[in-house]
Amino acid sequence: MPHDTPLIATVVAGLGLAFVFGTIAQRFRVPPLVGYLLAGVAAGPFTPGFVADQALATELAELGIILLMFGVGLHFSLNDLLSVRAIAVPGAIAQIAVATLLGLGLALLMGWTVGAGLVFGLALSVASTVVLLRALQERRLMDTERGKIAVGWLIVEDLAMVLALVLFPAVASFQGDGTALTSDPLATRFGLGLTGVLVLTLIKIAVFIALMLVVGRRLIPWVLHYIAHTGSRELFRLTVLAIALCIAFGATKLFGVSLALGAFFAGMMLRESPLSQRAAQETLPLRDAFAVLFFVSVGMLFDPLSVVREPWPFLATLFVIVVGKSLAALLIVVLFRHPMATALMISASLAQIGEFSFILAELGVALNLLPKAGRDLILAGAIFSIMLNPLVFAVVDWLTSRLEKPQAASPTVATTEPIPVTDLRDHTILVGYGRVGSLVGDALHRRNAPFLAIEASDDTVAKLRQRGIEALMGNAARASVLRATNPAAARSLVIAIPEAFEAGQIVEQARAANAEIRIIARAHSDAEVDHLKGLGADIVIMGEREIARGMIEELDRGHLDVASQGAASAREDSEA
Ligand code: AMP
């Protein structure tokens, strides 16, 4: 029976096209995300051929945002959030103000009203959660001080946008014919004014947060614990997902908080449970799939010809997003006496706009605050700023490596980057200082062997440096980080991280830098062993095989014991 299945068609087309375009992008050494955006353009209404359901795609993308923010919450403690408030709160507010003014100026130049200019400016001032988090995760910056500042900044922007979304209808209603347009039933019923709506919103946010901190903090870990004890993996996964989605959705429906913020708090509450690490792992694959759909759905909204039709307003918008906004953020962070590297990284991660801007633009157009041309400019600005973002990061990496003075030995980790090339020669490079790497590293340390470690967690790096062990912070798969370990002069490289694809990238780069270096890597399956060997690893130790070997040894030892006991008693018997 033929029937219409728009949801399936959208998911299939979205993921299928993203796969094709992402692979092509990778082939040409462009970040796959550019491929996902192009996949969206291909599936969108402005290009010939298949047209996917835009509304559905946008909703699917929201799922991606929920899962991403949930994951971030899982990494974040309340203390982390509070520890960066001194910079994140004023920084985000000042940056929103500057970007809004820039947008307003541009709007006035184009002959729009002040109201339109404010909406336009606000839309240009908020960065995309997905893009920012992807950039941080890709660079393994999530556990660093800068990563925490960036996430704190994002949360403040998020809160500001929640307020803006509530205030727009109220402002529009006061500007226009006086009919209340606010969507809030409470505000409508009591005929609240602008201040009333604002206060009501703040109260709702406060109630939500209080509820999460008081009830959620106890209830959620308890539920998770209970489910974990049932022993069903499937049920555990389901629980994690259900908690994340229900809280995000409930927060939006009941408290007017954004889905992303709701999910973030859900994650933060789960963090209180010792099972949180597992919970994070469980949501990873889903999260990645839906994050891809986010980029596809953004691409779908874009009309490539709009840029050609009106190039100057487009270029000016892009300039505000990529240059204006970043410079503002840079100045603010430097004013707060954070190092240049931190300032550069934060401004790079904010040099783009995304989902919030679309929501603001849609609402602005619906309320007749913003002309349609404004929405098109915001879309074009988003697409190009997202595409340019990896490039912006590359420029920042380059600038950072030029600007910063060598100061590797300082224990204040995240503030001392970038790392100059090590002075060590004939040394061992140890990648990852977790369960495996720490054992290897401690052994090397005891033998006084020259070595240095690369670790993605800044806590670990700080501890290593306190012990006088040379350690670099960052993702070892990144060329700039690996280069600083001087692989060309090293004797061996031990890759003790669990992720085989990343390990493969490290093997490839190290082998290219030094044909002689002895590379020992870690794997979890035969296929991974082959993969790593194919890329140039000399020895690949498969963890599971070693576990089995240990078990067999124990068994043999047991048998020997039994056998020797048997022999002894036989001897006793014969002697008797
Ligand atoms: P484990 O699986 O317990 O041996 O931990 C692996 C360790 O490697 C963790 O401490 C991670 O922070 C670290 N790690 C994982 N991937 C990378 C990477 N690409 N670069 C640097 N450190 C990493």
Question: Which of helix, strand or coil describes residue 455?
Answer: strand
* Distance from C-alpha of 545 to C-alpha of 217, rounded to nearest angstrom: 40
Q: Which atom of ligand 1 is found nearest the CA of 457?
A: 12
Instruction: Kindly report the protein residue whose alpha carbon is nearest to atom 9 of ligand 1.
Output: 434
Tokens of 291: 């994050």
pLDDT at 524 over 80: yes
Q: What pLDDT does 409 receive?
A: 39
Neighbours of 449 (CB within 10 A): 14
| Displacement of CA 59 from its chain's centroid (Å) | 20
Q: Which residue has better confidence, 492 or 227?
A: 492
Read off the pLDDT band of 419 (50, 70, 90): low
Q: Which two tokens stand for residue 74?
A: 């899982």
Centre of ligand 1 to C-alpha 522, Å, is 11
Nearest atom in ligand 1 to the alpha carbon of residue 454 is 21
Closest atom of ligand 1 relative to the 506 alpha carbon:
19
Our CA angle for 223, 229, 234, nearest 5°, is 80
- Between the CA of 476 and the centroid of ligand 1 the distance, in Å, is 9
Residue entry with tokens 């004013």: 335
- pLDDT tens-digit readout, 106-147: 999 999 999 899 999 999 999 988 888 888 888 878 778 888
Residue 184 pLDDT: 61
Query: What is the number of other CB atoms lying within 10 angstroms of the CB of residue 9?
Result: 16
Q: What structural domains and CATH numbers belong to the chain?
A: 46-403 (1.20.1530.20), 428-549 (3.40.50.720)
- CA 526 – ligand 1 centroid, Å: 21
Three-state DSSP class for 191? coil
Q: How far is the CA of 455 from the centre of ligand 1 (A)?
A: 6
Mean pLDDT of 249-254: 89
Atom in ligand 1 nearest the alpha carbon of residue 475: 20
229-245 pLDDT per residue, tens: 887 888 888 888 898 89
**Band of pLDDT at residue 415, cut at 50, 70 and 90:** very low
Each residue of 58-70: pLDDT tens digit? 888 888 888 888 8
User: What is the CA(475)–ligand 1 centre distance, in A?
Assistant: 9
* pLDDT computed for residue 447 by the predictor: 94
In whole angstroms, what separates CA 459 from the centre of its chain? 19
Q: Which atom of ligand 1 is nearest to the CA of 438?
A: 4
Name which of 420, 303, 341, 434 is nearest 150 in CA terms: 341
Q: How far apart are CA 173 and CA 178, in angstroms?
A: 5
CA of 243 to the centre of ligand 1 (A): 28
Stretch 527-534: mean pLDDT: 94
Rounded to the nearest integer, the mean pLDDT of the chain is 85
Q: Cα Rg for the chain, rounded, in angstroms?
A: 27
138, 439, 455, 507: which to mutate for ligand 1, most atoms within 8 A of CB?
455
C-alpha of residue 264 to centroid of ligand 1, in Å: 24
Given pLDDT bands bounded at 50, 70 and 90, which one contains residue 548?
A: very high
Cα 415 to Cα 345, 407, 458, distances in angstroms: 11, 10, 10
Residue 437 Cα: closest atom of ligand 1: 4
Atom of ligand 1 nearest to the CA of 503: 19
Instruction: List the one residue out of 20, 572, 96 whose CA is nearest residue 353.
Output: 96
Question: For residue 246, what pLDDT is reported?
Answer: 92
* Centre of ligand 1 from the C-alpha of residue 495, in Å: 9
**Distance from the CA of 351 to the center of ligand 1, in angstroms?**
28
The confidence band for 191, taking pLDDT boundaries of 50, 70 and 90, is low
| Residues 241, 51 contacting (CB under 8 angstroms) | no
* Least confident piece of the model among 49-53, 340-344, 466-470, 522-526: 49-53
For ligand 1, atom 8, which residue shows the shortest CA distance?
Answer: 432
Cα–Cα distance for residue pair 428/59, rounded to 1 Å: 49
Average pLDDT value for residue range 437-444: 95
Strand partners, 400: none
Q: What is the pLDDT of residue 414?
A: 41
Sheet architecture: strand order including 492-495: 471-473, 451-455, 428-431, 492-495, 518-523, 539-542
- Position with higher pLDDT, 184 vs 267: 267
Handedness of CA 6, 7, 8, 13 (dihedral sign): positive
- Among 189-198, 501-510, 553-562, the range scoring the smallest mean pLDDT is 189-198
Q: Which residues contact 333 (CB under 8 A, 6 or more apart)?
A: 87, 91, 149, 342, 343, 346, 347
- Tell me what the mean pLDDT of segment 467-481 comes to: 88
CB 90 within 8 Å of CB 332: yes
Residues in contact with ligand 1 (CB, 6 Å cut-off): 140, 431-437, 454-457, 460, 475-477, 496-499, 502
Top mutation candidate among 475, 497, 499, 505 for ligand 1, by most atoms within 8 Å of CB: 497
Ramachandran category for residue 188: left, alpha or beta (phi over 0 → left; psi -120 to 50 → alpha):
alpha
pLDDT in tens, 8-45: 988 999 999 999 999 998 888 777 888 998 999 999 88
The distance between the two most distant Cα atoms of the chain, rounded to a whole number of Å, is 113
CA 456–ligand 1 middle distance (angstroms): 6
% of the chain beyond a pLDDT of 70: 90
pLDDT digits (tens, 9 = 90+) for 207-221: 988 988 888 888 888
Closest C-alpha among 379, 386, 373 to residue 322: 386
Q: Which two tokens stand for residue 149?
A: 């500042």
Q: What average pLDDT does range 272-295 have in this prediction?
A: 78
Q: How confident is the model at residue 571 (pLDDT cuts 50, 70, 90)?
A: low
Q: How confident is the model at residue 420 (pLDDT cuts 50, 70, 90)?
A: confident
Question: What CA–CA distances, in Å, run from 111 to 263, 311, 320, 365?
Answer: 40, 16, 17, 16
Task: Kindly give the number of the ligand 1 atom that is closest to the alpha carbon of 436.
Answer: 4
CA of 321 to the centre of ligand 1 (A): 34
One-letter identity of residue 299: G
Residue 86 identity: A
> Which ligand 1 atom is nearest residue 143's CA?
12
pLDDT of amino acid 67: 85
- Is the model's pLDDT at 436 over the cut of 90? yes
